[in-house]
Amino acid sequence: MISGSKSPERANAARKAQYLRDLAQRPEKPALGNGRVQIAAKRLLGLMEEVSTADVAQWSHARRLLLNGLALEPQHYRAVRRALRQVGAIPCGRGRGMGRPTVWRMGDRPREW
């Protein structure tokens, strides 16, 4: 090796160190409230006063429905109900028709977005 030149390992380590963050300074829960279904629920509740579980499921799983042509399964509706509870929505009734979806509205808790 020629004197004064750096080894490839040392050069790679120096490059990597630039991009690494101090993990002690990162937020506790950086992804809290940023899930795909949670974002869709927040957007739909911002547009309408009351939404049904089916409405949010169709918004949050549009790619599955429109592009892939697949039907929604019970696990998708379960994820929507969980996300609606997490963003602060409260169930306020039941819809009409087959399956009678739950109707949700935003609770008294202030929105965080």
Q: Is residue 50 part of a domain?
A: yes
Q: Is residue 53 part of a domain?
A: yes
Q: For residue 109, is pLDDT > 90?
A: no
Q: Is residue 112 part of a domain?
A: no
pLDDT tens, residue by residue, 6-58: 677 777 776 666 666 666 777 777 777 788 999 999 999 999 999 999 999 99
Q: Is residue 7 part of a domain?
A: no
Q: For residue 3, is pLDDT > 90?
A: no
Q: For residue 113, is pLDDT > 50?
A: no
pLDDT score recorded for residue 21 = 62
Whichever domain contains 71, its CATH number is: 1.10.10
Write out the two tokens for 72.
């929604």
Question: With contact defined as beta carbons under 8 Å apart, do 82 and 89 qualify?
Answer: no
Q: Is residue 89 part of a domain?
A: yes
The rounded distance, in Å, linking the Cα atoms of 95 and 9 is: 63
The rounded distance, in Å, linking the Cα atoms of 98 and 53 is: 13
Counted domains in the chain = 1
Non-local CB neighbours of 59 within 8 Å, separated by 6+ positions: 40, 43, 44
Q: Which domain holds residue 66?
A: 32-106
pLDDT tens, residue by residue, 82-99: 999 999 999 999 988 778
pLDDT score recorded for residue 22 = 67
Q: Is residue 70 part of a domain?
A: yes
Q: For residue 1, is pLDDT > 60?
A: no
Whole-structure pTM value? 0.69
